[in-house]
Amino acid sequence: MNDFVTDDEQVERIKKWWSDNGSSVIAGLVIGIGGLMGWRYWVDYQTNVAAEASAHFANMVGSIENENNDAAIDEAFKILDNYSSTAYADLARLSLAKVFVETGEYDKAAQQLQALIEAKPDISLEMLTRKRLSAILFQQGKLDQSLEVLTVDFPDEFAASFEELKGDILVAQGNASSARDAYQRARLAQPASANPQFLQQKIDDLGLAGMNS
């Protein structure tokens, strides 16, 4: 007896298998090809979106450099309205806040910075945003809110600027002792303060004032 099936039997088995499974194979191929095409479409779409957002951002930056605030604001809101899922939206909010500060619209600037914090950007951008928001609130005399914005865990590279700003706020609140502690932490921080001489002057002035408090 032949241990191997004949060619005809093999053909018949293939026909039967195809009859039983052919439709699922075709469906699998269609799904696979469709998935690949869908992925390529998604990649192309995302590339186009990023390119469009980049173009609007470039226009916004150019408008800011040319001191055309109205055009800069218009471009920024185009990014926020149409490209909110891109990294350009975060940068647009940061730039928009800068424009609003320059036009004296501090509430609008604070609103953009708060929205950026709530969007949970990367840690460096969040810390930069917190510092700018705190400074705006400080300038508005909203001392408690200003201090609260800085009351978070922050990376070492932000210690000097955060602690110095905390000291400034605490001085304005009349809390000389806590301000002195904040300034000392800023003085010891690494990387060092951007203006160590000015920081030391604040410490010296506060020390004299503290003797009378």
pLDDT digits (tens, 9 = 90+) for 45-94: 456 767 888 888 889 889 888 989 999 999 999 999 998 888 888 989 99
> Tens digits of per-residue pLDDT, 11-27?
555 455 555 655 555 55
pTM of the model: 0.73
Q: Are residues 141 and 57 both part of a single domain?
A: no
Total tally of structural domains belonging to the chain: 2
As a whole number of angstroms, the distance between CA 43 and CA 37 comes to 10
149 in a domain, yes or no?
A: yes
Q: Are residues 83 and 156 both part of a single domain?
A: no
CATH of the domain at 173: 1.25.40.10
Q: Are residues 127 and 196 both part of a single domain?
A: yes
- The C-alpha angle 128, 167, 105, rounded to 5 degrees, equals 50
What's the distance, Cα to Cα, between the start and end of the chain in Å?
112
3 in a domain, yes or no?
A: no
Q: How many CB atoms lie within 10 A of CB 16?
A: 10
Q: Are residues 132 and 206 both part of a single domain?
A: yes
Domain that includes residue 181, residue range: 122-213
2 in a domain, yes or no?
A: no
200 in a domain, yes or no?
A: yes
